């Protein structure tokens, strides 16, 4: 079982990538505590790239005008992630509500519907496209509403795309031609279904496809075949952000020209390192009554 220090030492051998995350940002509010942690897939990828690999990274998203949005911006400044192309809209920042079970696994139990991000969509201007072209990899997701802009983005940068649990053929085919590496959740699927989904995504046009399977590890597909890896053992503090840490490691290794098996090894190490921190990557802020009042959407009893 590796310590956080040992995991970081392994990652120190990977050249620093150049990554910009475009899309979602949230505060993950732990309902059994009075703490909220910065998060969101696109924001996490940018932050992990800098924290774990010393990357030149950026983030483009939509922030609210409440104190939680202020905390997010302050955190990005502290980590060293550029957010100069992000927008600000009057209203509440996105917030998700989380519980951690006895095994350290996190469960999302509610949200505020994305805050200001629910009513607005990022639209890439020529200035944005010029900014994104300054990075080697642009990472976004199925929940960031960038489908219409992917073709233009992909003209100058590799695109990393997190489908999460979106697995339908139409959604995959819609973006596959513009995606260099796609990440999908394979949890709950049989091995045969995982293999079929991975091959379908490659055939649809992606260079590489990775399906994560939680404690069962992950499988990566390209036109030459499939490679598998188990999880990297460590002392788990909190699994929030593990998947995003995994994605970040894969992106970093791929950016350095690593083969598929090495990309998976670095990804597993980076995902494990994310599990050694509270929240996605720390930086908590007091939640308080103003956070609790925002839980307007409930997924299960809290």
CATH of the domain at 110: 3.40.1190.20
Main-chain dihedrals φ then ψ at residue 17, nearest 5 degrees? -85, 180
Q: Quick one: pLDDT at residue 103?
A: 67
**pLDDT mean values, one per 10 residues, the chain (302 residues):** 96 98 96 94 98 97 98 98 98 92 76 92 95 98 92 96 96 97 95 96 97 92 95 91 97 96 97 96 95 83 55
Note whether residue 277 is domain-resident.
yes
Strand order across the beta sheet in which 285-286 lies: 285-286, 35-39, 26-30, 95-100, 106-111, 297-298
| Count of structural domains within the chain | 1
Note whether residue 209 is domain-resident.
yes
| DSSP strands (E only) in 132-190 | 137-141, 158-164, 181-185
Note whether residue 299 is domain-resident.
no
Note whether residue 82 is domain-resident.
yes
Note whether residue 61 is domain-resident.
yes
> Helix, strand, or coil here: 100?
strand
Q: What residue numbers bound the domain in which 240 lies?
A: 4-293
Note whether residue 298 is domain-resident.
no
Q: Quick one: pLDDT at residue 47?
A: 98
Note whether residue 302 is domain-resident.
no
Q: Quick one: pLDDT at residue 282?
A: 97
């Amino acid at each position: 079982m590796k310590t956080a220090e040992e995991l970081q030492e392994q990652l120190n051998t990977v050249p620093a990538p150049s990554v910009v995350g475009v899309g979602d940002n949230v505060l993950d509010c732990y309902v059994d505590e009075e703490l909220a942690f910065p998060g969101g897939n696109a924001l996490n990828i940018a932050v992990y790239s800098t924290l774990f690999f010393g990357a030149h990274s950026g983030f483009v998203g939509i922030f609210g005008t409440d104190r939680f949005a202020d905390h997010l911006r302050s955190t990005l400044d502290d980590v060293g992630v550029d957010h100069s192309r992000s927008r600000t809209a009057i209203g509440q920042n996105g917030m998700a509500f989380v519980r951690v079970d006895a095994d350290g696994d996190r469960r999302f139990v509610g949200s505020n519907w994305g805050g200001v991000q629910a009513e607005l969509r990022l639209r890439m201007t020529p200035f944005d496209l010029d900014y994104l072209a300054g990075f080697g990899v642009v990472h976004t997701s199925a929940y960031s509403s960038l489908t219409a802009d992917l073709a233009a983005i992909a003209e100058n940068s590799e695109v990393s795309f997190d489908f999460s649990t979106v697995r339908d053929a139409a959604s995959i085919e819609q973006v596959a031609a513009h995606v260099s590496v796609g990440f999908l959740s394979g949890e709950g699927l049989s091995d045969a279904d995982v293999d079929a989904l991975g091959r379908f995504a490659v055939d649809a046009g992606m260079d590489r496809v990775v399906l994560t399977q939680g404690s069962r590890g992950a499988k990566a597909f390209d036109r030459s075949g499939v490679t598998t890896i188990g999880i990297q053992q460590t002392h788990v503090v909190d699994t929030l952000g593990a998947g995003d840490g995994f994605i970040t490691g894969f992106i970093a290794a791929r950016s350095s020209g690593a083969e598929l098996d090495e990309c998976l090894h670095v990804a597993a190490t980076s995902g494990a390192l994310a599990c050694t921190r509270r929240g996605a990557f720390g930086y908590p802020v007091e939640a308080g009554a103003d956070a609790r009042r925002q839980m307007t959407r409930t997924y299960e009893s809290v």
